[in-house]
Each structure stands twice: as C-alpha cells, then as structure tokens.
Copies of this chain bind each other. A is one copy, B any other.
Amino acid sequence: MRKLVIHELLYSSLAQHGQVEVLSGPHRLTYQSVWERAVRVADRLTRLGIRPGTVVGVMDVNSHRYLELQYALSMVGAVIHTLNFRLAADDLLYTITHAQDEWLFVWEGFAGSLGKLRDHFPNWVWLTDADHDHDRDRDRTYEALVAEGRLVVPDHANRVAENDPYSIFYTTGTTGRPKGLRYTQRDMLLAPLQIAHHLALHPTGAKLSSADTIMPLIPFFHIHAWGAAFFPPYMGARLVLPERAPAKEQLELIAREGVTWSNMVPTQLHMLLDEAEAAGQALPLKVLTGGSQLPSGLAQRAVKNGVEFSLIYGGSDQLATSISVIARGMDPSPSSPDTLQVLSTRTRPIPFVDVEVRDENGQSVPQDGQAIGELWVRSPWLPDGYLHDEESSRAVYVGGWFRTGDLAIRFPDGSLYVVDRQKDAVKSGGEWIPTGVLEAVLSEHPAVAAVSVLAQPDDKWGERPVAVIQARTPVSAVDLREFVEGAVASGRIPSFWAPDRFLFVDSLPITSTGKIHKAALREKLDLR
C-alpha cells in the first residue's frame, strides 16, 4: 500500500516525470537524477549512523542539494530542521540547540558567518561543488556522501509512517525567541499539494499547471519554499532553483529558462520589478505572493509589467490556509481594478481548511465585509503545538483550532481579508484600526517609498494611529493627511482610522523575513 510520505511523492513521479529537468546554478539534473543522488545520500547517512528521528539541520540557499536532502532525510526517517540563515547568529544557535540537531549540512557560502558554530558540531557536512576541500579536510562534503553512497533505497524507507515527524522550523517573531514547529510526513505533504490543487482548480493569477516552469524564490527554510520543494515533481513541472541569485540574475534566469511561475514575498516582487523596469523588459510571470500586505501600488505595478499574481495567507504555525481566487462572474482580466483589488486583498480558504473570525469572547463576528475580529483556523495539517513549549501552545492551539493572532474581515461570499497582526493593530475607542489597510492606502501616494503605522497610547481613545513614512520624494504631513481624507471621502476607510500624526524616517527597520520590524521601530521612535 502506498503512503502519503515525502519520498514516495518523488518516487511516484519518476515513471512519468523522471526526465523532467531540474536546474540549479550550473547543474542540469532531472527528477530521476535528483532521486538517485538522494538515495545515495540516504544510504551513506544510514551507514554513518543517522537513525529514524535524528534531527538534521540544513542551512543552504535554494539548491539541488537542499532539494535532494529534503527527500533523502525522509527515506531514513530523519527529521529535517530547515535553518533560517537570516536569523541573528544568536537566535540561529538557539534554534539548533532547541531542536536538538545532531547533524548540520551547511552551504560553503555561509562559512564566513558561522563563528564558533563549527566547533560545537562533530557531525558536519559542507554543501559545496567540491568533493574535497583541503582547507577543511577533516570535514565531510556532500558530494563525497553521494560518491560513497550506493544506489540502494534504505530499508527504513518502507517503514516511514504518515504520522512520523518530518520537519522542524521556527517562527520568526519580532519579540522573544523563535518558536519551533514540528510537522509530520503527511501534513507536510498534504498542505503543499492542496496549494497546487487550489491553484489548478480555480481561476486565479498564479494558476498552476504541469506545463509550467517553476522557480521558487521563497527560501526552502520557509515551509519548504511554501511547499515548492514538493509540488513540482508531483505535477511534473520543470524546476529552476535560483541558488544565491540576486534579483538581476533571477530576471535573467526567468528569461533564459522560460520560468513561468514563481513565489516570493512582496519585497522580492518589488526588487524583481525594479530590475525588469531598469532592463526595459516585461515580466510575464505568474506569482504567488504573501507573507505581508501586498501594497496596492505594487500590485498595480506588477500587473502593468505583465505579472499575474495570487495572494496566499498562511504561516509557519498553520501552513497554507487561503489563496485569492477570481470568483465566478468577476472580470477575469487582471488589469480590471475590481479584480486586482480582490486578488490582492481577499483570499479563500483552501479545501479542508475551516476559518472563523471571532471577537474577544470567541463569538463569530458578522460575515458582512466590515466587522473585524481575530482569525481562527482549523485544518487537517495543524500541529499539536510549539516544540517543547507547552505554555505558548496552550495559548494559541485551542480545542483543535489555531488562534492566528491576525485580524481579519469576512465577506458574505466566504472570502477573507487579513488586515493586520492583532498586536500591531490600533485599538481606538474599543474599535480595531488595522494598520495594514492604512499602510496600503498610504503606499499609493507617489511620494511614499515605504510606510508603517503604529499605535500611540492616547488618554481619551486608548490608542491612536501614527504613520511613519520613508519618503521617495519630499512630501509633507499636510499632503498625506489630505490624501487619507480622500480615502475617507471615497468610503474606503472610516474617518476615525485617519492617523493623528505623520513621522518621517530615512529608512524602516526590516526583519529577517523582509517585513518591517515594527517592534524595533516602536522602540526607536519611543512612542509613549
């Protein structure tokens, strides 16, 4: 009986898609050769003592070796800890210790930034094109493992169970230590496949088909590139792995390799559009984006350059939850303002995901496109809780539901507008003011390069919004206030949402995942 486990996914794709290309830097492989290299590595690791349940940390850019490891470790029943290389060294070491990593696989490009980490880990493998490095000759290299491994699937591969743990990764909160999540084989397989299915079944910008060539720009450490380590072979789509390519090289890869589909956070989309515009080049690409609010100015600019996109909502502690869709009867043209507005703000739960928007008493708020509440999520792939952290788990994993900590609005058609992190939102006179929506409005002003709205304590209202602006060209608070009043006049936002103050900064602090670091900003501005 076949099982829903990660390495079976790749194996079952070989008969039909084995000869489909996988590109990675200078390397041209196929799913067949990726499988065979993964089998050799798995064989070698078994003989080196890796056991079912051994936790293995991997720190790499999106390369074929990383792809192979995600399947090889599944075969031996090991648990892959995908290391977030954007974490501060301190937090990185914390996650390695906390997850109890016994082995580390590290890309040589990170060698300079690892400090004393190397000394703490006897079981260390360098990810490098070299099969031997004279400066590091006491260390193993990945290519040596491949060379030493036999093309024999480890015995354990057939005993891996759907509910065995498969991967560990950490949330990147802006306060406190990262929190760990551990997912089973089945859950880490189902959620990504449901993303692919949803994008294939429904009319939407980032529509997916086996004819696509996929280049994941979301790093593998972030939920396995939002699942893009798994669904391309399942579909038989060509895969282009960008390794460390910066935006300019990404653009070249897209053109040279005929990439048709990618995923990325809005910041990456922004950079890619900058490069495309500078090169005077269209960007006929289907893009799945999310991770932070998609500014409407950026959405318009993307469509103008040929991008068709969908928005995804989810996260490390809930996996995939919802994706934007062009509803029946809506103008399918991405340049239609209504369609653009819906695609860039409103998502629809993917099949088997249940969502509710609830008030502070746990009661559902009206599904009227106006009421704001906290988003609760229930799905077949929710984890039991945070790793080794019962207290945090009990606070947010409640009776089969996950309290997302996000504020959302539910529409009569079942769609969902996630407006803000609850802790970032402003509570004014007992009502929520979602800073994300205000930021979207302000980002449309031509002089605004970036914007963050924060809460300032207020004697009368409890809190009031303050807009912090990074300007592209000179602009005054008066100009911006007028601009916001325009949005009020057109009915887009209520008048009490208008920020009380506008502050100007040279640049906004950014987190390791490219979002604006509100906690740092709040501290810096000393808003009290």
Contacts and interface: CB of A to CB of B under 8 A. Distances in A.
A111 B196 CA distance: 47
Nearest to A322: B16
Contact of A4 (B18, B235, B380, B415): B380
Interface centre among A2, A16, A355, A380 (most CB of B within 10 A): A16
Interface string A1-21: 111100011001101111000
A352 interface: yes
Interface stretch (A83-91, A132-140, A199-207, A424-432): A199-207
A414 interface: yes
A15 B414 contact: yes
A203 B197 contact: no
A202 to B, nearest CB: 5
Contacts of A351: 9, 12-13, 234
A379 B201 contact: no
Interface stretch (A73-81, A208-216, A454-462): A208-216
B200 A354 contact: no
A360 interface: no
Contacts of A57: none
A349 interface: yes
B413 A1 contact: no
B200 A201 contact: yes
A211 B196 CA distance: 17
A414 B16 contact: yes
Contacts of A12: 349, 351-354
A509 interface: no
A358 interface: no
The secondary-structure label for the interface of chain A is loop
Given A2-B354, A354-B12, A200 B203 contact: no
A328 interface: yes
A381 to B, nearest CB: 9
B1 A378 contact: yes
B352 A2 contact: yes
A348 interface: yes
A400 interface: yes
Contact of A202 (B203, B210, B353): B210
Contact of A201 (B4, B203, B210, B328): B210
B209 A382 contact: no
A196 B194 CA distance: 12
A122 B12 CA distance: 49
Contact of A380 (B3, B197, B209, B415): B3
Contacts of A348: 16
Contacts of A236: 202
A413 B211 contact: no
A13 B379 CA distance: 13
A18 B197 CA distance: 20
A327 to B, nearest CB: 9
A1 B210 contact: no
What 5 A-B pairs are tightest by C-beta distance, nearest first?
A: A16-B414, A200-B200, A15-B414, A2-B380, A200-B201
Interface of A: 1-4, 8-9, 12-13, 15-18, 193, 196-197, 200-203, 208-211, 234-236, 325, 328, 348-349, 351-355, 378-380, 382, 400, 413-415
Given A2-B354, A210-B328, 18 more contacts: A1-B380, A2-B352, A2-B378, A4-B380, A9-B352, A12-B352, A15-B355, A15-B414, A16-B348, A16-B413, A196-B201, A197-B201, A200-B200, A201-B209, A202-B209, A203-B209, A203-B210, A203-B211
